[in-house]
C-alpha cells in the first residue's frame, strides 16, 4: 500500500517462483511499483502495470530469442481518492465489487505483468464511483484453486463468489474468520498448494466535503482489512 499525492494505491500480487526465487521476484515487483508511482508519477493503474512490465523485462533481460523464463506476476491494483473514485487494473485475477447483494467483476486482462511473447498489449482501465456499503475484494488464486472436499477438487471461483455474497452482513473481522474456517474445512488433510491472500475493504461512509487543510490528515473512508495473510494455512 502506498499513499501519494492525495491518493491511496493498493496492490495484490502473486509472483512466479517459490522460496528464494519467489522472494526475489516479489522484491523486484514491489520496487518497480513504488518507482512507477513515486518516482515517475504514474497514477492510472493500467499504465502503472505497463511500466512495471517494462521494468521486469529490463531487469531480468527477458527476450523472445533466448527463451528466457517468462517471469512476472499476476496482480490487481486499485487507486482511490478523497472523492471516492476507484480506479483499477487487473492482470489474470479480477477485482470483485459487491453492491446491493450483487457482484460486479472488474475483469482481468489475460496477460501477466511481465514478459509476454509477441505484442505487448495495454492493460484495461477500470473506474468506479464508490458508494456507501460497497465491499471490494482483491486476492490471489490460492483460495479458489485449493484442492479439497470429498472429491478432492478445486474450490473454484464460483464458490468463492457465492461465499463472499453470503457473508456480506458480517463485519470484515467476522468475514476473515468465516473464510479461514471454510478453507480449513475444505482443505482438511490435503496439502495446501499455494499461498492464500484475500484483502477486503468496505466503503463505510461517503467522505464529507469538509477536509483538513493539512494534506496528511486527509483520509479516504475506504477501510481495508487483510482477511487472510499470505502464508500457508
For residues 28 and 217, what is the distance between their CA atoms, to the nearest angstrom? Answer: 31
Q: Is 71 exposed, middle or buried (0-12, 13-18, 19+ CB in 10 A)?
A: buried
Domain limits, the chain: 2-231
pLDDT tens digit sequence for 114-137: 876 666 789 999 999 999 889 999
For residues 52 and 75, what is the distance between their CA atoms, to the nearest angstrom? Answer: 11
Q: Which of 3-17, 59-73, 98-112, 164-178 has the lowest mean pLDDT?
A: 59-73
Residue 191, classed as helix, strand or coil, is coil
**Closest C-alpha to 120, from 190, 44, 188, 62:** 62
Q: Any residues with CB less than 8 A from the CB of 179 and at least 6 apart, and which?
A: 143, 163, 167, 198, 227, 228
Q: What is the mean pLDDT of residues 64-74?
A: 66
**DSSP label at residue 35:** I
pLDDT tens digit sequence for 141-189: 999 999 999 999 999 999 999 999 999 999 888 999 999 999 999 999 9
pLDDT tens digit sequence for 182-209: 999 999 999 998 889 999 988 754 443 3
Predicted structure pTM score? 0.84
**Where is pLDDT greater, at 8 or 227?**
8
pLDDT of 218 > 90? The answer is no
What's the Cα-to-Cα distance from 162 to each of 91, 140, 167, 196, 202, rounded to whole Å?
Answer: 22, 17, 9, 18, 18
For residues 45 and 76, what is the distance between their CA atoms, to the nearest angstrom? Answer: 9
Residue 84, by phi and psi: left (phi above 0), alpha (psi -120 to 50) or beta? left
Q: What is the mean pLDDT of residues 94-106?
A: 97
Q: Any residues with CB less than 8 A from the CB of 173 and at least 6 apart, and which?
A: 225
> Which CATH architecture does the domain made up of 2-231 adopt?
4-Layer Sandwich (3.60)
Q: Which of 51-60, 139-148, 223-232 has the lowest mean pLDDT?
A: 223-232
Task: Return the pLDDT at 37.
Answer: 94
DSSP string, 36-68: IIIIS---SHHHHHHHHHHHHHHHTT--TTTT-
Instruction: Give me the residues paired with residue 14 across strands.
Output: 74
Q: Which of 16-25, 29-38, 74-83, 166-175 has the lowest mean pLDDT?
A: 16-25
Share of the chain above pLDDT 70, in %: 80
Q: What is the CA radius of gyration of the chain?
A: 18
Instruction: Give me the residues paired with residue 4 across strands.
Output: 7
Task: Return the pLDDT at 6.
Answer: 85
Amino acid at each position: 500500500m502506498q499513499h501519494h499525492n492525495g491518493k491511496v494505491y493498493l496492490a495484490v500480487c502473486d509472483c512466479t517462483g517459490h522460496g528464494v526465487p519467489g522472494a526475489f521476484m516479489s522484491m523486484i515487483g514491489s520496487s518497480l511499483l513504488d518507482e512507477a508511482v513515486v518516482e515517475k508519477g504514474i497514477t492510472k493503474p493500467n499504465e502503472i502495470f505497463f511500466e512495471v512490465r517494462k521494468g521486469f523485462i529490463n531487469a531480468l533481460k527477458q527476450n523472445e530469442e533466448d527463451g528466457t523464463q517468462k517471469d512476472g506476476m499476476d496482480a490487481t491494483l486499485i487507486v482511490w481518492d478523497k472523492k471516492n473514485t476507484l480506479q483499477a487494473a487487473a492482470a489474470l485475477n479480477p477485482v470483485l465489487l459487491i453492491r446491493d447483494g450483487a457482484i460486479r467483476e472488474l475483469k482481468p486482462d489475460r496477460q501477466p505483468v511481465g514478459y509476454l511473447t509477441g505484442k505487448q498489449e495495454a492493460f484495461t482501465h477500470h473506474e468506479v464511483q464508490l458508494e456507501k456499503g460497497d465491499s471490494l475484494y482483491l486476492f490471489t488464486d490460492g483460495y479458489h484453486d485449493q484442492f479439497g472436499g470429498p472429491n478432492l477438487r478445486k474450490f473454484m471461483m464460483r464458490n468463492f463468489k457465492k461465499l463472499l455474497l453470503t457473508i456480506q452482513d458480517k463485519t470484515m473481522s467476522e468475514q476473515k474468520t468465516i473464510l479461514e474456517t471454510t478453507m480449513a474445512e475444505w482443505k482438511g488433510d490435503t496439502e495446501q498448494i499455494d499461498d492464500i491472500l484475500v484483502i477486503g475493504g468496505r466503503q463505510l461512509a461517503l467522505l464529507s466535503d469538509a477536509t483538513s487543510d493539512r494534506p496528511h490528515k486527509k483520509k479516504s473512508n475506504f477501510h481495508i482489512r487483510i482477511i487472510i495473510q499470505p502464508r500457508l494455512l
